[in-house]
Amino acid sequence: MALTKINSAGLNINADTASGDDAAVGYTAAEGLILTGQGSTDDVTIKNDADTTVINVATGSSDVEVSAGDLIFGTAGKGVCLGVTSNTDANTLDDYEEGTWTPTIQDGASSPTYTHQFGKYTKIGNMVMAFCSIRINAKNDGGADKKIHGFPFTNETDAPDAYSIPGYAGYYSSLADTKITYASYIVDNGTSCYIIGQEDDSGTVDNAINIWGDDARIDLMHIYWVTTA
């Protein structure tokens, strides 16, 4: 069927649509432009020039489905407002990021040799979940440094007490300082973390211990907060 072309300056629509319309374009002073349809699969379908369905509303549904492509904001800093009817900072998801980072154990001149260094992170708003796996072949002089460096974002300046947001050491082996359990905390306003360990059943905890020996490995997960989203 051939399409009817409208070559005038515009199409003036001044009537509402009604339930049951096969397809109608309408207008009211309160709602503005109205697009109404009724189909066996979808009530409203929006396609691109390649005849690909981009957005659709299923028959009888009030949900809008993005069938192809992504939701992209034309202005930086905008996001999705969740649970509210207007933009409020606390309810707006406007920052999400995934990536990798490279953990190191040396913050000085002499570097250890590594068997592997691997890190991944996910950042949602002002919360960062960072994982790293690091193993050294020979510590050289790097064993004197008690921190893991290189976390992807700076911990907030007014971070809570270190022990209230500990990291979890899920795997470790061949450590120079043998403890029962290990955890870690990221330094205030920094991108490095100290390793802490429980000495014995008495619950004695050593802060900022030196764990690095030749062939030492530790895998840990950290959740922390940054100052800005």
pLDDT at 151: 94
* Bridge partners for 127 per DSSP: 124, 225
pLDDT in tens, 164-200: 456 666 777 777 777 767 778 888 888 888 887 776 6
14-36: per-residue pLDDT in tens? 888 888 888 889 999 999 999 88
pLDDT for 28: 92
Give the contacts of 164 (CB within 8 A, at least 6 positions apart): none
What pLDDT does 1 receive?
Answer: 56
Q: Which pLDDT belongs to residue 13?
A: 83
Task: State the pLDDT at residue 117.
Answer: 94
Res 161: pLDDT: 47
pLDDT at position 162: 46
- Dump strand ranges (E) for 9-102: 23-28, 32-37, 42-47, 53-58, 65-66, 80-81, 92-93, 96-101
Of 74, 1, 6, 64, nearest in space to 53 by CA: 64
pLDDT of residue 119: 96
Q: Phi and psi of 23, rounded to 5°?
A: -160, 130
What residue ranges of the chain have pLDDT lower than 50?
A: 161-164
Of 146, 226, 133, whose CA–CA distance to 192 is shortest?
Answer: 146
User: What does the domain layout of the chain look like in residue ranges?
Assistant: 15-70, 97-225
Q: Which of 86, 104, 75 minimizes the C-alpha distance to 218?
A: 104
CB 66 within 8 A of CB 55: yes
